């Protein structure tokens, strides 16, 4: 036994972790993960679905991971370790043998006490032994012995929206959103579930939805059955390499978790979300012949597309894919499931020690012809009936460095490269460097790799991220990303460039209090065509954000979160915004009731200086409304647990001081406030 | 042909950053690898960034630097010598920028000394000579620059430097040479890791923030990276000391203009 190891073990015992997190019954989202999700949502229009993360965490919360025998893929399910840290832990185990206690974790190179605290609810430390395979019991036995859950969620906006008003309303359905999910899980070997969803305004059990819900999804997933290592039937996710070819579901990019860029995910996962587009439907299998892993999938489904005319020969022509998932208006219903999509793909991975090399391919075809609007920025985007992508991805862990990357081809078109390195310079300082080069004609419709633009195409850039532990409890994180779009984009009528920088100071003075100060600035320069003169004008946009967040325990089980944010945006005009936000959370360890309250005031010049803020929400639900204009936002979020049933209620209101009409189009509300009420029930049996 | 194609770009670059003539082109491979976030550093090439670093050079040294430019016609070379004296250090340098039809030479002498144990200062006298072929002729300009450095403790060092504070003008059109102020701080995080932060303000331009990291991978082998904004420049560099010889190589990338390389070699007697 190394002396150093014993010393650190003793040292970390002195800084013993807070206990009792497991007394609550839902996993606490770590603050890092929380801000990751928040930033992700801020960078995208509409909501995001992070359910698979919560599910992974929940699963680990009830059946903690033994970090002495978890492999890299399983450690990835913690969603809080970088690939570098995973490799570092594996190397530590190889070198010194199994960990003796959870308190040994901070000794592993690249780990901190804080990280170990965040991991604690989800892991155990047990002697490493051969993994005990849970026997499959036959269908009846499986159903009898599995853990099951049923979630029912429903809610709506209480004010009348324009689309629901009148004797013959534009939206045919009720404003109620109804969601339900049933899931069965037998250890990690068997999963079966169904998700049903009806969006506001969609019909239920009538008209075009005679079967009830507008969206149905079923998944079946088994592991290690007969000769297959994984089999997914129904809806599933595919995630290859760094996402240059195929990546469905949530894909993290730039955030205050500045080192989290290297992707590492299971190639096949069952799909359990309610997003109506971003998944595959069919069959996927995986088989291991060590060191080779082969996976194949086929997916066929009808998707929404903006249908145009037909060609003289009678073929369908469409101009874009519809991603909203709403099927309420006549136009939306016309486009609903109007196009048949078929995707086939596969991957062959070679895993040996610290190296992984994989060849990935995907081919997709539609039963219609895509013809985009003839605008210059569309010149190199996908059109036609089908396309293929092929890529080679690698990971290599060398001493203190972790290399990752993917090189991809689009059939007959452009190339894309992504290469990165991530490592620790000293125990307290981590660095991540990423270079990407996506040609303007690299077309990959199922890709979701690191990119500033909406897709990995027409972009080149360099990202540098750094994290330093200045002293105990004080962290500095920063990143700087610079890029260039060599061809025109939606936002610029000429090639454009830009940069994005973030610097954040995190301070954790005591175990339960935390604060951070963050400054972020994004600048891009391109040009636009002036509407009056028809001349090309240079255009520069800048957006700076300054945020201070402070969490402090007011009393036992009573937590206060205070946030101040200032936004300064300059494009054609100057726009400024400010928000003050106070949250109170009551989270008793043993009482069945818990609640969160928020009151926020915001004042922004316009939508340009909008401010996003994380909201504590119903389990699995995540939407961050942008705060803009002048007004307040308040909510009450209650949770009550009674045995195997949990109930949630969320009542939220946004009120405006400077407007009498909210929203636009058919969602317009006559009035100065918008109120939403949601209820959720979960049964576990 | 290449020149013709690049001409609009060059015009843009000049208009954008270079202040047409008498520009103070930086030198030094280490500094280039750090995106020139180097006003607080004291090494051989410090007389190009802050003469306040000179008294820390205690050997007789010679050095050569080459900067490739985005095109060959924008290349830049420097040759320099530092002589330590009993009270401080004396430096002399000569640099050449441009090509036969447009070039600028700079000759300079500098002197730096300790004002106290932690505070150093230096001053440099510059002579610029610019020549443009054809009817444009030549112009001369005398000016000076000065800088100070302060070592707060073993971890922190600060630097400030001012170039051409009197805004000397030259030529037929009374064109002013740029007046540039640079302020910076360096933080030695650990023995092998250094962070640098600098802000550079040219009177006619936006503030140019720069940040950089230098990491000693194995003894005497350095890896560097830095970023400057307004305009954006990503730099990467490597340096190695081999007894009395030090070689530094750096590459910088501009999103639109492409890549430039820097190489410098110094020898200590």
> Is residue B264 a contact partner of residue B95, using CB atoms and an 8 Å limit?
no
Residues of chain B with pLDDT under 70: 1-22, 172
Q: What is the ipTM of this complex?
A: 0.82
Confidence of residue A602 (pLDDT cuts 50, 70, 90): very high
Domains identified in chain B and CATH numbers:
2-268 (2.40.160.60)
In tens, the pLDDT along A536-548 reads: 888 889 999 999 9
In tens, the pLDDT along A149-192 reads: 899 999 999 999 998 988 888 888 889 999 999 999 887 788 89
Measured in degrees and rounded to the nearest 5, phi and psi for residue A107 equal -75, -25
Give the pLDDT of residue A125. Answer: 84
- CA A571 to each of CA A495, A608, A626: distance values in angstroms, whole numbers, following the listed order: 17, 9, 19
In tens, the pLDDT along A644-674 reads: 888 999 999 999 998 899 888 888 999 999 9
Q: Quick check: A24 pLDDT over 70?
A: no
Query: If you average pLDDT over residues A358-385, what whole number do you get?
Result: 92
Tokens 């610097």 map to which residue? A503
Query: Across all residues in chain A, what is the average pLDDT?
Result: 85
- Residue B169, helix vs strand vs coil: strand
Give the pLDDT of residue A45. Answer: 44
Q: Where are the beta strands (DSSP E) in A556-586?
A: 558-570, 574-586
% of chain A residues with pLDDT over 90: 40
Residues of B in contact with A460 (CB under 8 A): 255
Residues 6+ apart with CB under 8 A from A349: A267, A292, A293, A294, A295, A356, A357, A358, A359
Mutate to test the interface with B, among A437, A476, A480 (most CBs of B within 10 A): A480
- SS3 percent helix, strand, coil of chain A, rounded to 5, is 15, 50, 35
Helices (H) and strands (E) in chain A, counts: 8, 31
Structure tokens at A593: 């009731």
Residues of A in contact with B234 (CB under 8 A): 462, 464, 482
Confidence of residue A118 (pLDDT cuts 50, 70, 90): confident
Residues of B in contact with A501 (CB under 8 A): 229
Residues in a beta bridge with A463: A434, A481
Confidence of residue A129 (pLDDT cuts 50, 70, 90): low
In tens, the pLDDT along A63-81 reads: 788 888 888 878 888 877 8
Of all helices (H) and strands (E), which one includes residue A10? Answer: helix A3-14
Of all helices (H) and strands (E), which one includes residue B67? Answer: strand B61-67
Chain-chain contact of A425 with B192 (C-beta, under 8 angstroms): yes
In tens, the pLDDT along A235-254 reads: 999 999 999 999 987 777 78
Query: If you average pLDDT over residues A318-340, what whole number do you get?
Result: 87
Give the pLDDT of residue A82. Answer: 80
Chain-chain contact of B225 with A464 (C-beta, under 8 angstroms): yes
Using CB atoms, which residue from B213, B215, B255 is nearest to A484?
A: B255
Chain-chain contact of A428 with B225 (C-beta, under 8 angstroms): no
The span from the CA of A571 to the CA of A575, in Å, is: 8
Chain-chain contact of B229 with A425 (C-beta, under 8 angstroms): no
Taking the Cβ of residue B192 and every Cβ of chain A, the question of whether any pair is shorter than 8 Å is answered with: yes
Q: What is the pTM of this model?
A: 0.86
Taking the Cβ of residue B253 and every Cβ of chain A, the question of whether any pair is shorter than 8 Å is answered with: yes
Chain-chain contact of B189 with A429 (C-beta, under 8 angstroms): yes
Give the pLDDT of residue B8. Answer: 46
The span from the CA of A593 to the CA of A145, in Å, is: 29
Q: Quick check: A332 pLDDT over 80?
A: yes
Comparison of pLDDT for A577 and A83, the residue scoring more? A577
Q: Quick check: A33 pLDDT over 80?
A: no
The span from the CA of B142 to the CA of B129, in Å, is: 9
Chain-chain contact of B193 with A497 (C-beta, under 8 angstroms): no
Residues of A in contact with B189 (CB under 8 A): 426, 428-429, 468
Taking the Cβ of residue B62 and every Cβ of chain A, the question of whether any pair is shorter than 8 Å is answered with: no
Of all helices (H) and strands (E), which one includes residue A74? Answer: helix A72-76
Give the pLDDT of residue B53. Answer: 92
Query: If you average pLDDT over residues A181-206, what whole number do you get?
Result: 87
Q: Which candidate, A457, A468, A385, places its Cα nearest to that of A425? A: A468
Chain-chain contact of A497 with B232 (C-beta, under 8 angstroms): yes
Confidence of residue A324 (pLDDT cuts 50, 70, 90): confident
């Amino acid at each position: 036994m190394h002396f150093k190891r014993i010393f650190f073990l003793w040292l970390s015992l002195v800084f013993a972790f807070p206990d009792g997190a497991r007394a609550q019954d839902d996993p606490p989202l770590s603050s890092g993960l929380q801000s990751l999700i928040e930033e992700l949502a801020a960078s995208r229009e509409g909501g995001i679905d992070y359910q698979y993360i919560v599910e992974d965490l929940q699963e680990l919360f009830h059946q903690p991971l033994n970090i002495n025998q978890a492999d890299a893929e399983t450690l990835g399910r913690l969603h809080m370790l970088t690939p570098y840290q995973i490799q570092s832990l594996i190397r530590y185990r190889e070198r010194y043998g199994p960990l003796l206690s959870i308190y040994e974790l901070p000794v592993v190179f690249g780990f901190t006490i804080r990280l170990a605290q965040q991991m604690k609810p989800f892991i155990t430390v047990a002697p490493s032994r051969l993994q005990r395979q849970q026997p499959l019991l036959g269908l009846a036995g499986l159903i009898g012995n599995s853990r099951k859950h049923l979630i029912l969620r429903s809610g709506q906006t209480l004010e009348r929206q324009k689309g629901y008003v009148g004797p013959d309303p534009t939206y045919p359905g009720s404003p109620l959103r109804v969601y339900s999910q049933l899931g069965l899980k037998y250890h990690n070997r068997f999963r079966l579930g169904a998700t049903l969803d009806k969006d506001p305004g969609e019909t239920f059990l009538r008209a075009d939805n005679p079967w009830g819900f507008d969206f149905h999804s079923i998944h079946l997933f088994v592991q290690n059955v007969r000769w297959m290592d994984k089999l997914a039937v129904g809806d599933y996710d595919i995630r290859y390499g760094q996402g240059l070819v195929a990546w469905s579901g949530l894909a993290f990019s730039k955030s205050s978790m500045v080192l989290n860029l290297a992707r590492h995910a299971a190639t096949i996962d069952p799909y359990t979300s309610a997003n109506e587009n971003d998944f595959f439907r069919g069959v996927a299998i995986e088989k291991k012949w060590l060191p080779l892993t082969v996976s194949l999938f086929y997916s066929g489904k009808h998707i929404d597309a903006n249908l145009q005319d037909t060609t003289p020969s009678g073929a369908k022509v469409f101009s874009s894919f519809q991603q909203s998932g709403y099927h309420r208006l006549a136009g939306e219903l016309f486009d609903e499931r109007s196009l048949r999509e078929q995707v086939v793909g596969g991957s062959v991975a070679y895993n040996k020690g610290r190296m992984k090399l994989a060849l990935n391919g995907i081919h997709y075809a539609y039963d219609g012809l895509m013809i985009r609007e003839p605008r210059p920025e569309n010149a190199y985007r996908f059109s036609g009936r089908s396309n293929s992508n092929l890529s080679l991805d690698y990971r290599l862990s060398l001493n203190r460095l972790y290399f990752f990357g993917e090189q991809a081809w689009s059939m007959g078109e452009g190339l894309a490269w992504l290469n990165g390195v991530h490592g620790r310079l000293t125990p307290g300082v981590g660095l991540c460097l990423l270079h990407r080069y996506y040609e303007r004609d690299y077309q990959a419709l199922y890709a979701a790799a690191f990119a500033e633009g909406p897709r990995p195409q027409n972009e080149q850039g360099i990202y540098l991220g750094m994290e330093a532990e200045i002293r105990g409890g004080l962290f500095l994180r920063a990143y700087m990303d610079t890029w260039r779009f060599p061809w025109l984009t939606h936002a610029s009528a000429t090639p454009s460039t830009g940069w994005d920088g973030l610097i954040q100071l995190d301070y954790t003075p005591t175990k339960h209090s935390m604060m951070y100060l963050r400054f972020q600035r994004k600048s891009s320069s391109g040009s636009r065509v002036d509407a009056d003169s028809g001349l090309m004008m240079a255009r520069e946009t800048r957006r700076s954000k300054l945020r201070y967040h402070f969490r402090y325990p007011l009393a036992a089980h009573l937590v206060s979160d205070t946030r101040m944010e200032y936004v300064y945006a300059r494009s054609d005009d100057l726009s400024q915004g400010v928000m003050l936000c106070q949250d109170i959370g009551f989270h008793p360890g043993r009482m069945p009731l818990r609640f969160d309250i928020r009151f926020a005031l915001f004042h922004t010049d316009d939508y340009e200086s909008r401010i996003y803020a994380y909201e504590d929400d119903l389990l699995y639900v995540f939407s961050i409304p942008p705060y803009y204009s002048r007004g307040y936002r308040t909510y009450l979020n209650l949770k009550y647990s009674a045995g195997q049933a949990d109930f949630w209620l969320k009542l939220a209101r946004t009120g405006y001081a400077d407007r009498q009409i909210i929203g636009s189009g058919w969602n317009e509300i006559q009035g100065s406030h918008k109120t939403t009420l949601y209820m959720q029930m979960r049964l576990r049996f | 042909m290449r020149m013709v194609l690049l001409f609009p770009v060059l015009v843009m670059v000049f208009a954008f950053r270079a202040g047409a003539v008498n520009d103070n082109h930086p030198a030094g491979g280490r500094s280039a690898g750090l995106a020139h976030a180097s006003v607080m550093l004291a090494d051989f090439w410090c007389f190009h960034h802050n003469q306040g670093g000179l008294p820390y050079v205690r050997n007789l040294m010679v050095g050569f630097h080459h900067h490739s430019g985005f095109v060959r016609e924008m290349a830049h070379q420097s040759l320099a010598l530092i002589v330590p004296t009993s009270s401080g250090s004396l430096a002399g340098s000569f640099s050449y920028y441009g090509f036969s039809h447009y070039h600028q030479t700079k000759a300079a002498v500098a002197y730096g000394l300790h004002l106290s144990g932690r505070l150093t200062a230096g001053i440099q006298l510059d002579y610029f000579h610019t020549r443009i072929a054809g009817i444009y002729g030549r112009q001369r300009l005398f000016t000076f620059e000065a800088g100070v450095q302060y070592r707060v403790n073993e971890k922190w060092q600060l630097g400030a430097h001012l170039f051409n504070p009197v805004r000397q003008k030259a030529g037929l059109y009374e064109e002013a040479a740029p007046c540039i102020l640079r302020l910076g701080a360096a933080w030695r995080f650990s023995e092998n890791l250094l962070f640098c932060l600098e802000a550079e303000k040219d009177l006619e331009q936006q503030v140019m923030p720069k940040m950089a990291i230098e990491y000693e991978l194995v003894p005497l082998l350095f890896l560097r990276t830095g970023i400057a904004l307004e305009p954006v420049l990503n730099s990467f560099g490597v340096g190695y000391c081999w007894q009395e010889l030090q070689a530094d190589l750096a590459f910088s990338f501009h999103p639109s203009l492409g890549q430039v390389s820097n190489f410098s070699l110094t020898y200590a007697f």
